[in-house]
Amino acid sequence: MWDGLDKLIELQQLDLTIAKLDAEARAIPGAIGALEGRLSEAREAFEAAKRRSDQLQKDRRAKERELEEAAQGAKKKQARLFEIKTNEEYSAVLKEIEALKVKSSQLETEVLEWMEAADVTARAVAEAERVFRAAQRDVEAERREKEVRLAALQKELAGLEAARKGQASRLDGELLRMYARLMKSRDVAVVPVADGSCQGCGMTLTPQTYAEVKRNDRMFTCPSCNRILYFPG
């Protein structure tokens, strides 16, 4: 095996593992943000339902006051009937009482309707609250899980970075630079050959090149993708 091949493969293994774990770690803050977004949506829905319910209660109370006033008005007028001297005034007040009674009965119907609406709204509020509390629990648990995972990843990455540094120092500078260029442009720098072709790009090698690569006794690069080739044995 040519000098440096096994160290290079080991370095690449470290780099690929680092890249994978690093991508996972980088995705975690965004995932936590998305969880919080879900939670605030549920919170907003709950608060909107509460506001609707409060407004409905206010409106209902206003109707009840109106109803109360109409009933009081009719009562007062009813009492006045006994003090009235003229027939015209008497029938005028009677008419007013009649009108207030009609108004009261309309208001009673409205109050009943508001009460039914309040029942529906109270159920909607309870449901929105249930959804919000469940989201709170889920998000809290998921967030903790992600934070624990992130801390573990950061620890593992620190160890891998140290190992990577040590491994890189064992390689020849020229080879290391070539490797770094390939990693940058091709993501993978060292690839095996199999069935007569480069496993990085799929190019078929000449039988002669393939036979030489299989010996692993000097460095070969793929004529198509420039990656360093080796035979996995």
Binding interface with Zn ion (CB under 5 A): 198, 200-201, 203, 222, 224-225
Choice between 160 and 203, CB closer to Zn ion: 203
**Amino acid code (one letter) for 181:** R
Burial label, 176 (beta-carbon count in 10 A; 0-12, 13-18, 19+)? middle
Choice between 94 and 201, CB closer to Zn ion: 201
DSSP state at residue 215: T
Give min distance, CB of 188 to Zn ion, in A. Answer: 10
DSSP state at residue 218: S
Give min distance, CB of 190 to Zn ion, in A. Answer: 11
Q: Spell out the alpha helix ranges (H) of the chain.
A: 5-80, 87-169, 173-186, 207-213
Choice between 171 and 203, CB closer to Zn ion: 203
Choice between 57 and 224, CB closer to Zn ion: 224
β-pairing, 228-230 vs 190-194, is parallel
Give min distance, CB of 10 to Zn ion, in A. Answer: 21
DSSP state at residue 170: T
Determine contact, residues 192/184, Cβ cutoff 8 Å: no
Choice between 166 and 223, CB closer to Zn ion: 223
Give min distance, CB of 194 to Zn ion, in A. Answer: 12
What does the block give as tokens for 53?
């319910």
Give min distance, CB of 150 to Zn ion, in A. Answer: 36
